[in-house]
Amino acid sequence: MNRLLVSNKHLLEILNDGLHKYDQCRECYFRGPVGALRRPDPEGCNWSRDLILRCSGRASDSCQLVAKRVTDEVAKHYNLEVPTTEKYR
């Protein structure tokens, strides 16, 4: 699957927008920056899905499940723009 290349800032915005679509996660957010992988994963994603999730007031298991769902879905459609000098060292 072809993925759109986006900046780190834009990827973080996309991830947070996805998170905010869920009522229980309206006050949650992913904290950046998003880390680039040395090599794309088996599905072709080139960024780490291990992100810091911050929830205002409480962190719940349901927010963690939503965060995983959001990162998995976004990873299918977007890759991180990696400067040529840093590409897969």
User: What is the tens place of the pLDDT at every residue in 22-67?
Assistant: 998 999 999 999 999 999 999 999 999 999 999 876 657 889 999 9
Please state the domain extents for the chain.
4-83
Which positions ≥6 away from 46 have C-beta within 8 Å?
36, 37, 39, 40, 79, 80, 82
Give CA–CA dist 35/84, Å, rounded. Answer: 16
- Tens digits of residue pLDDT in 61-86: 889 999 999 999 999 999 999 876 55
